[in-house]
Amino acid sequence: MQGKGVIKFFAILLAVVCLYQLSFTWVAQKVESDAKAYAKGNLEKEKAYLDSMSTQPVYPLLKHNYQYVKQRELALGLDLKGGMNVTMQISLDELVRKISNNNPDVTFNQALANADKLQADAKTSQKDFIALFVSEYEKLNPTGKLAAIFSTKDNQDHLKFNASNSEVESYLKDLANTAVKQSFTVLNTRIDQFGVTQPNIQLEASSNRILVELPGVKDPERVRKLLSGSAKLEFYQTFDNTEAIQYLINIDNLLAAKNKTAKADTGKAGAATAATAKTDTAAKAGSLLSKVQKNAAKDTSAAALASKTQQAALHPLYAVLQLNINQGPNGSQPAQGPVVGYSPLQDTARVNAYLHSADVQSVIPRNMKFLWEVKPVKTAKDKIFALYAIKLTGADNGPVLAGDVITDARADNDQRGNPEVVMIMNSVGAQKWRTVTAEAAAGVNKKAIAIVLDDNVYSAPNVQNEITGGVSSITGNFTLDDTKDLANVLKAGRLPAPAHIVSESVVGPSLGKEAISDSITSCILGLVVVLVFMVAYYNRAGTVAVVAVIINIFFLMGVLTSLGAVLTVPGIAGIVLTLGIAVDANVLVYERVREEMALGKSLRLSITDGFKHALSSILDSQISTFLTGLILFIFGSGPIQGFATTLMIGIITSLFCSLLISRVIFEWMLDKGWDIKFSNPWSSHTFKNANFAFVKNRFKFYIFSGVFITAGLISIFTRGFSYGVDFEGGRNYIIKFPDQTVTVEDIHKTIDAAGTIDRGTEVKTMGADKISITTNYLFSENTTVADAKVRKTLVEVLNTSPKTHIADSDILGQSKVSATIAEELKTSAVYTVLFAIFVISAYILIRFRKWQFSLGAMVATAHDALLVLSFFSLFRGLLPFSLDIDQAFIAAILTVIGYSINDTVVVFDRIREYLDLHHAKTDNPEEVINQAINSTLSRTIITALTVVFVLIVLFIFGGDVIKGFSFALLIGVIFGTYSSICVATPVIVDFGKKDLR
């Protein structure tokens, strides 16, 4: 084998990288385990412990701190960690009203109302709101000109009074896109306030939606309030650091005095300290702070740590806030500018607590407040944030200017080509801005004006000159992305497009722990089943496959961690499925090796030819499955993307391990003179000389499939499906009942007897002790008040019977989705499946150069999808577990398609090989094809059995969360194996008799 040294080098290099990436997860878990042991159940103490470790080196070898390690550990999704998933819808109707200056025109407002209703309608939910509005306006007023409504004083530079309706539509769409991006920026900033370690926020620009995942969040109401609030853009004057630092000195002295003084004398000591603090100087504070910091940096011993604690008691504020001080020839001096200090992320909460305490507020002037910069200062490991001194003005102590005076803002380049932001104000704003900038530019030391959004400083540029005309240029150490973000922020006042929650999902932590436990159990058992089967069937060669699979799992987890992928329950299902298909390449190689050995070749030559002749089938089958995963990743969302990610990475690592690592191991064993056996006595003749009449009996297979699919279609159109909450819409609750004997019938009787929420209520079992209840009671009311009312009503209804009695805390998880989302999910799912079938069929056509092969693959994949759908409709309500059609089911369907194609391609590859060997006109193509099918029957059945074993384990031990998912896969794999032999191949025979000859 050539290139063994290169393969070994890359294998070792990849192993080192994966080990390094996974080490962050192990270290983070060790620190969190120590925190739990220290806190002994006290969540506040546990959080305080972790905060204290944020900047401490916890990775001894590389001296990384906990914050650095935590950011690089393997991320867990909501279903494993618990938390909240929110979908925000940008309110474009409110935006359009604002752009028109709330025009009272009756036709205009009626068109807006009609467009709003149409977008809420499931059938038109995917259409663009602006296009719907323009269409409705033209229906109501065919000769009406929208420019008369939107060409206001603020818009006249961009929209002329005689503009056509299409030009107005284009202008409104541009503003809508900007508003959506600006909302995305605002929400991104707000999410940082939750302290979530690994939040996930995605913009769906095509649907004006923002998807937010917050793992670990335990206060849903706070999330709703913070995410739903309108953006507030303001401009503030600032204090110079030389003016503000005296007050920080006073605050530190006050806090130090409180630490020293007994509780009874705290008030007296605080007053005395405030009085004496005024005699201190800024230079003295700088000198003292420098001394404290130098001492802290020198020592890391236990004595030094004790010294740090002592210094923190003497100077509480300095311990968490580094004052903005420069070292000069005359000693330490306060730096100029509005920044008064810097703090690491983990210390900002402590600083806020100090600054907002009642005692400290008495020391600070009424017109002064402190705000943090929105982005951290760029450093290697720690996130350091700047603190600004903001000046309040007017009788109400507010900003000097509100953001609604801005008419436009754009990212641009100055005369030197450096990035800048151009800001344009209306006449009212321009007049006020002239006064403000003139005051800031007066004197030698220019003052800064802070641009503040939601109490976060986005920029605080110094004013060089008085600005007239309302056009300002903001420059600084900006990147292109920085200018785009700042331009979007400046438009927040001009484009107030509120974001409303249209769907949310809350996962209780206990449910997450169960999912983790079930998933780990299924992974381990699935791995054991696959490995035992391979050794039992392929003898010593099976142990090579075992080693390759174990290495594959190690590489897969390492790559997932390095890419920052989020691991979900369907993602773990993808890993388990990867265990099954990982051996597919080994099986293909081993079966070819056995065929070569049967021809009398030596062991070494048989292994070489086995790898060589199996390569085409392996690549075709794995590439087709990879395409399925790629389509899933592109068109799917949430759990589907998690599944697709693990599937694609698993395929790549499987190919590397099966084709290269296994080959290196075999070469090493041959060099050692080991006797390598590829079968045990009982498995050596399995399927040997098989001669089943698959082609001859194809019409029987047609009838069987036709009858089953026909029955399924009748059931689909009459009985329909049981849709999950993400497809049907409504509110779903997962409840753990104290009475373990409660049944679905008991709950139905209780709900029916109450008569309050019986409309559309669906009850299903979720394992031995959990029940899923879905209701569309008050479903049309998409408010937090309605959410609380439905939950409260459900608890009250269930408590009317002693057997179904629950407490509010027994509700482990809840989810909500609007009808708009549900309809889009259905449509997207259908298109995704159809697109997957089309792409894979195109690939088959390119690889096999005969349209009959592509048609056979298309028919087989459609056949498998229809059979699974038919099964879920026919047996709905008859099996003791849920057969819901939801996002996970779509992932299962696409996986079935990928597996079916995988299997079909291997059979097609053998058929092509046999047809190439039989060119004589006397050879009957039907017999040749039948021989090809029988020759690859061993591989087809063994691979199918391997996957089926894994899926059975996943179905039994994988938990209730993915039971329906794993069942769909199980049925699909069985039907997929059947279709590759009994459906796809007969199609080739019946449509290509002349061509095949």
Positive/negative CA dihedral, 293, 297, 301, 305: positive
pLDDT digits (tens, 9 = 90+) for 126-174: 567 888 899 999 999 998 889 888 887 777 777 888 889 899 899 888 8
- The helix/strand/coil state of 713 is helix
Percent of the chain with pLDDT strictly greater than 90: 12
Distance CA 690, CA 463 (A): 87
Q: Residue 266: is its pLDDT beyond 70?
A: no
pLDDT digits (tens, 9 = 90+) for 596-646: 898 889 988 999 998 988 888 888 778 888 887 888 788 766 566 777 888
Distance CA 106, CA 100 (A): 13
Q: What is the DSSP string of 595-617?
A: HHHHTT--HHHHHHHHHHHHHHH
- Whether the model pTM is above 0.85: no
Q: Is 589 exposed, middle or buried (0-12, 13-18, 19+ CB in 10 A)?
A: buried
Distance CA 884, CA 865 (A): 15
pLDDT of residue 389: 93
Distance CA 416, CA 783 (A): 51
Count of CB atoms within 10 A of residue 916's CB? Answer: 8
Residue given tokens 């909240």 in the structure block: 84
State mean pLDDT over 803-816. 84
State mean pLDDT over 117-122. 68
Percent of the chain with pLDDT strictly greater than 70: 84
Structure tokens at 358: 């009642």
State mean pLDDT over 890-910. 80
pLDDT of residue 264: 42
Which of 491, 402, 405, 503 lies closest to 183, judged by CA? 491
Torsion angle, CA of 648/650/651/655, rounded to 10 degrees? 150
State mean pLDDT over 499-509. 75
State mean pLDDT over 390-412. 86
Q: Residue 493 — pLDDT band, cuts 50, 70, 90?
A: low
The CA angle 201-206-209, to the nearest 5 degrees, is 40
pLDDT of residue 333: 83
**Which carries the bigger pLDDT value, residue 765 or residue 748?**
748
pLDDT of residue 296: 40
Written as one letter, the residue type at 476 is G
Which of 391, 374, 402 lies closest to 440, judged by CA? 391
Q: Is 975 exposed, middle or buried (0-12, 13-18, 19+ CB in 10 A)?
A: buried
Distance CA 234, CA 265 (A): 41
Structure tokens at 584: 């597919």
Q: In the 8-state DSSP scheme, what is residue 193?
A: G
Q: Which residues pair with 499 in a beta bridge?
A: 90
Distance CA 3, CA 1 (A): 7
pLDDT of residue 298: 42
**Is 773 in contact with 732 (CB distance < 8 Å)?**
yes
Backbone angles phi, psi at 654, to 5 degrees: -65, -45
Distance CA 754, CA 804 (A): 13
pLDDT digits (tens, 9 = 90+) for 309-340: 566 667 888 888 889 888 767 777 888 889 99
**Which carries the bigger pLDDT value, residue 156 or residue 918?**
156
Written as one letter, the residue type at 508 is G
State mean pLDDT over 499-504. 78
Written as one letter, the residue type at 697 is N
Q: Residue 903 — pLDDT band, cuts 50, 70, 90?
A: confident
pLDDT digits (tens, 9 = 90+) for 170-205: 988 888 887 777 777 777 766 665 555 566 777 765
pLDDT digits (tens, 9 = 90+) for 252-265: 888 888 877 644 44
**Which carries the bigger pLDDT value, residue 802 or residue 579?**
802
Positive/negative CA dihedral, 401, 403, 408, 414: positive
Residue given tokens 């329906």 in the structure block: 964
Q: Residue 1: is its pLDDT beyond 80?
A: no
Residues 6+ apart with CB under 8 A from 497: 90, 91, 92, 94, 95, 176, 179, 180, 182, 183
pLDDT of residue 484: 80
Torsion-angle region of residue 148: left (phi > 0), alpha (psi -120 to 50) or beta? alpha
CA 835 to each of CA 95, 860, 899: distance values in angstroms, whole numbers, following the listed order: 35, 15, 16
pLDDT of residue 818: 67
Distance CA 500, CA 77 (A): 23
pLDDT of residue 720: 86
What are the DSSP E strand ranges found in 737-856? 762-765, 770-775, 811-817
Q: Residue 301: is its pLDDT beyond 50?
A: no
Provide the mean pLDDT of the chain. 80
Torsion-angle region of residue 826: left (phi > 0), alpha (psi -120 to 50) or beta? alpha
Structure tokens at 929: 């094809």
pLDDT of residue 643: 75
